[in-house]
Chains A and B, each alone.
Chain A
Amino acid sequence: KQEVTQIPAALSVPEGENLVLNCSFTDSAIYNLQWFRQDPGKGLTSLLLIQSSQREQTSGRLNASLDKSSGRSTLYIAASQPGDSATYLCAVSGNTDKLIFGTGTRLQVFP
């Protein structure tokens, strides 16, 4: 059974720092891995999707890497801003379309 773990569970940093959020999964037979952002009381916003054949994806200040063989992904946030404060969720999909989520990393960036 696929299990997804995210470390750390919570993170509080001053504005401007570069951050790394970690995600690990137990079954390397995945189709893709996605990183989502969730603001309080809101739904999920997709940030980056990495197909199983890819190693990384970049969007603006965000970069996500995937090492399928070791079951790990990292989300790198450059030059963090207070507006980046949210919960970040990692999710994988296997041979069915459903997503299996980690429990998330709660990020707070203070001015």
Chain B
Amino acid sequence: GAGVSQSPRYKVAKRGQDVALRCDPISGHVSLFWYQQALGQGPEFLTYFQNEAQLDKSGLPSDRFFAERPEGSVSTLKIQRTQQEDSAVYLCASSPSASGTDTQYFGPGTRLTVL
């Protein structure tokens, strides 16, 4: 069975460019999460979807960050006008229910480097 997949695995962007990161969750999973992991740190929450509804975006660091999940499956995290401080690994996770008691299954992440 397929796990959570993310693409691209690596992205290099010049400062000021826009980037789009894709997450394919496990089929049928209701909840989808995005996290940002800086080097040597634990992941930090960015945003949460329940089906297509974005229920929590409190972790998005600025209005340059935008996430969507229009059909309740695939999600895209978009970063506009990238800055060097955006360099990090972006992790996507999904879980089967909306109860908050299930394990979250993580993808391999997208490593973003902004030059």
Spell out A's residues near B (CB within 8 Å): 4, 31-32, 34, 36, 41-46, 49, 51, 89, 91, 93, 95-104
Q: How far is the CA of A79 from the CA of B101 in the complex (A)?
A: 30
Assuming the A-B contacts A96-B56, A99-B43, A104-B42, are A42 and B104 also in contact, with contact meaning beta carbons closer than 8 angstroms in the complex?
no
B72 sits at the interface (CB 8 A): no
Contact residue among A42, A97, A102 (Cβ-Cβ distance under 8 Å from B33): A97
* In contact, A97 and B48 (Cβ under 8 angstroms): yes
Interface size classification for chain B = 20 to 34
Contact residue among B45, B48, B91, B95 (Cβ-Cβ distance under 8 Å from A44): B91
Q: Closest CB-CB distance, A105 to chain B, in whole Å?
A: 11
Contacting residues, chain B, for A34 (C-beta < 8 A) = 103-104
Contacting residues, chain B, for A41 (C-beta < 8 A) = 108, 111
B40 sits at the interface (CB 8 A): yes
* In contact, A101 and B44 (Cβ under 8 angstroms): yes
Known A42-B108, A42-B109, A101-B42; further 4 A-B contacts with Cβ < 8 A: A31-B100, A41-B111, A91-B42, A99-B45
* In contact, B100 and A101 (Cβ under 8 angstroms): no
Q: How far is the CA of A75 from the CA of B83 in the complex (A)?
A: 38
Closest 9 CB pairs of A and B: A101-B42, A43-B106, A98-B45, A44-B106, A97-B100, A43-B108, A46-B103, A103-B42, A101-B43
Q: How far is the CA of A45 from the CA of B100 in the complex (A)?
A: 18
**Chain B positions 74-114 with a Cβ under 8 Å from a chain A Cβ:** 91, 93, 95, 98, 100-101, 103-109, 111
Assuming the A-B contacts A97-B31, A97-B98, A98-B59, are A46 and B43 also in contact, with contact meaning beta carbons closer than 8 angstroms in the complex?
no
Q: How far is the CA of A42 from the CA of B31 in the complex (A)?
A: 21
Q: Closest CB-CB distance, A99 to chain B, in whole Å?
A: 6
Q: Which residue of B lies closest to A52 (CB)?
A: B101
* In contact, B48 and A98 (Cβ under 8 angstroms): yes
Q: Which residue of A lies closest to B45 (CB)?
A: A98
Contacting residues, chain B, for A51 (C-beta < 8 A) = 101
Q: How far is the CA of A105 from the CA of B35 in the complex (A)?
A: 19
* In contact, A98 and B56 (Cβ under 8 angstroms): yes
* In contact, B91 and A96 (Cβ under 8 angstroms): no
